[in-house]
Amino acid sequence: MKIGKLILLGILIISVSCGKDGTGRSDCAVDFGNNFDARESRYASDMHNTANSDGDYKSLEACLQRLDLTVNYLIYIDGLHTALNGDDGCSNEERSILESRITRRIQDLEEDIENLWNQSNCEDVYGGG
């Protein structure tokens, strides 16, 4: 009888953990989180290391390159958001958490484009082009 209970418990544990990482998140949530984090790190590094052809980090050219990086990252994040909505591997709770994170980041990037990385602001700060 004890062996039967142990086997049943083992099956239950395996079925509950199937498709989950050690934290209980689905493969979908882990993959999206990892992709988001990796791209965020790359974006931050690219923004930090952007300079003009003379190596000047504070120039009109560098500012406009940051605008381009931000727009491209925004497009990537929006695509990630679209892909998340089409992925059936995430639970509703995971999807909600990831969508909230993506939506906040999209809003931040849109504000950055509006307030920092736009052509007129770059030209005002670094001189007209």
pLDDT tens digit sequence for 49-82: 999 999 999 999 999 999 999 999 999 999 888 8
The ranges assigned to domains in the chain are: 25-126
Please name which of 26, 103, 109, 21 lies closest in space to residue 72, comparing C-alpha atoms.
Answer: 109
Whether the model clears a pTM of 0.85, i.e. scores above it, the answer is: no
CB neighbours of 30 closer than 8 A, spacing ≥ 6? 21
Task: Report the pLDDT value the prediction gives residue 128, as an integer from 0 to 100.
Answer: 72
Task: Report the pLDDT value the prediction gives residue 48, as an integer from 0 to 100.
Answer: 94
Q: What is the 8-class DSSP label of residue 51?
A: -
- Residue 23's pLDDT band (cuts 50, 70, 90): low
Average pLDDT over residues 78-104: 88
